[in-house]
Chain A
Amino acid sequence: GENVEQHPSTLSVQEGDSAVIKCTYSDSASNYFPWYKQELGKGPQLIIDIRSNVGEKKDQRIAVTLNKTAKHFSLHITETQPEDSAVYFCAASNGGGTSYGKLTFGQGTILTVHP
């Protein structure tokens, strides 16, 4: 089955700096890669996703890049703010088919943005 590795496990930055989180996946059939933000006591919330036919996607301060050949994808947050502090998870899925779109998650990155 799919295996997703996520690094770093913790990331501390100063407000205004950029933050980068990287993930690798093992199943070449995976074609959907969402990123979720999870705050304490809450469920994961989708912040951005990318599909395999796209190399990069941007939404305001957040961008995701995908390298299918190397089987890795990254989350980039620019101009970080204290409210960006949370746990971030990457995930991968072979959308539809017999996997029915179930997500395989990375281990998470605890991002702390210091004012």
Chain B
Amino acid sequence: GAGVSQSPRYKVAKRGQDVALRCDPISGHVSLFWYQQALGQGPEFLTYFQNEAQLDKSGLPSDRFFAERPEGSVSTLKIQRTQQEDSAVYLCASSLGGLAGTQETQYFGPGTRLLVL
């Protein structure tokens, strides 16, 4: 079946512009994660959704970062007034369940590579 998809795959923004990154998780997956991956580094957690509820946003680096998942499926990560330090690959991952105390495989999308000039 279809995996996690993300769009756009590449985005070039001028400093100060707003950007919106889209994630389509695997159908039926309750949990959705966003990670940020700087060049040459491992992914770092940004935020977590269980269905439409954003239960953890502790990894968002500033109030310029905002994420939503209004209908419990597609999610959008928005970055306002982009800065050069926002340049990174933004990865979305989804997993089947959302029950406390469980840990299920996270399936990652291909990522959106953001370059802020």
The reply to whether B56 and A100 form a contact with Cβ atoms under 8 Å apart is yes
Which residues of A have CB within 8 Å of B98?
100
Which residues of B have CB within 8 Å of A34?
105-106
Among residues of B, the one whose C-beta sits closest to the C-beta of A41 is B110
Which residues of B have CB within 8 Å of A4?
42
Cα–Cα, bound, A76→B92 (Å): 27
Q: List CB contacts (< 8 Å) of B19-53 with chain A.
A: 31, 33, 35, 40-45, 48, 50
Which residues of A have CB within 8 Å of B108?
36, 43-45
Please choose the segment from A13-21, A54-62, A63-71, A102-110 that sits at the chain B interface, where 4 or more of its residues have CB less than 8 A away: A102-110
The reply to whether B109 and A108 form a contact with Cβ atoms under 8 Å apart is no
| Smallest beta-carbon distance A66→chain B, Å | 14
Indicate whether A89 sits within 8 Å of B102 (C-beta atoms), given known contacts A42-B110, A100-B48.
Answer: no
- State the main secondary structure of chain B at its contact with A: loop
Interface size on B, residues (CB 8 A): 32
The reply to whether B42 and A100 form a contact with Cβ atoms under 8 Å apart is no
Of the candidates A49, A91, A97, A106, the one whose C-beta lies within 8 Å of that of B100 is: A97
Instruction: Please list the residues of chain A having a beta carbon within 8 angstroms of any beta carbon in chain B.
Output: 4, 6, 31-32, 34, 36, 41-46, 49, 51, 89, 91, 93, 95-97, 99-108
Top-5 shortest CB links A-B:
A95-B103, A105-B42, A43-B108, A96-B101, A32-B103
